[in-house]
């Protein structure tokens, strides 16, 4: 038989023999923080649900909610369309660096989902750049005490902020802090956290 486990010390997901733990295979590296794992095996499933046939009509993820109902969902970077079955990619997002990775949040103030699969394994990324048709996001600053990300946009002459913590971000939508005249095009900013 087989045995799977998460090793916090080495930040790995590991597969081994369930009798003696030998024949180890590292399935994934850089997986620190795993608190629970479960193996899904199609052959071991019992009962029937709507997701078993044609993925329940869902374009990406199908979650059975009872024997006769299901809920469709989308992976990171996609939103559920109004038909509640198909997904579409996030049109624009803000990418930001944190101590050990790079993340992304939607620019739509009503959308509080992750817009980018978190990129891990980086150390002290101090600048981020990407090419997409989302306007201009140039200056970035992080306020530790408030856990807020601030950014400048020279395209629309604004300085905005949004909560970084996903739980707070769900209740605190993006907020324009400063709106400048059309002649002003902010490119950088710095925060004084002592005030």
Q: How far apart are CA 90 and CA 138, in angstroms?
A: 20
Looking at the whole model, is its pTM more than 0.85?
Answer: no
- The answer to whether residue 42 scores a pLDDT higher than 60 is yes
Residue 134: band (very low, low, confident or very high) from pLDDT cuts 50, 70, 90: very low
Whole-angstrom distance, CA of residue 195 vs CA of residue 191: 9
Distance, in Å, from the CA atom of 88 to the CA atom of 113, rounded to the nearest integer, reads: 13
Q: What is the largest CA-CA distance in the chain?
A: 71
pLDDT digits (tens, 9 = 90+) for 92-103: 788 887 777 788
Q: For residue 57, give the nearest of 29, 31, 86, 35 by alpha carbon.
A: 86
DSSP state of 192: -
Distance CA 67, CA 48 (A): 6
Better pLDDT: 15 or 118? 15
Cα angle 133-111-120, degrees, rounded to a multiple of 5: 70
């Amino acid at each position: 038989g087989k045995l799977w486990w998460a090793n916090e010390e080495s930040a790995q997901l590991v597969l081994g023999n369930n009798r003696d733990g030998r024949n180890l295979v590292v399935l994934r590296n850089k997986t620190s923080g795993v608190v629970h794992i479960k193996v899904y095996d199609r052959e071991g499933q019992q009962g029937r649900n709507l997701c078993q046939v044609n993925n329940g009509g869902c374009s990406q993820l199908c979650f059975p909610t009872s024997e006769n109902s299901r809920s469709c969902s989308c992976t990171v970077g996609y939103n559920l369309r109004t038909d509640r079955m198909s997904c579409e990619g996030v049109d624009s997002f803000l990418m930001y660096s944190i101590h050990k990775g790079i993340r992304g949040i939607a620019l739509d103030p009503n959308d509080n989902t992750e817009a980018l699969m978190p990129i891990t394994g980086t150390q002290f990324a101090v600048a981020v750049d990407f090419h997409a048709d989302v306007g201009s996001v140039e200056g970035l600053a992080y306020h530790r005490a408030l856990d807020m990300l601030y950014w400048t946009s020279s395209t629309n002459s604004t300085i905005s902020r949004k909560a970084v913590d996903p739980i707070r971000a769900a209740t605190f939508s993006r907020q324009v802090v400063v709106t400048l005249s059309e002649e002003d095009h902010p490119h950088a900013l710095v925060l004084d956290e002592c005030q």
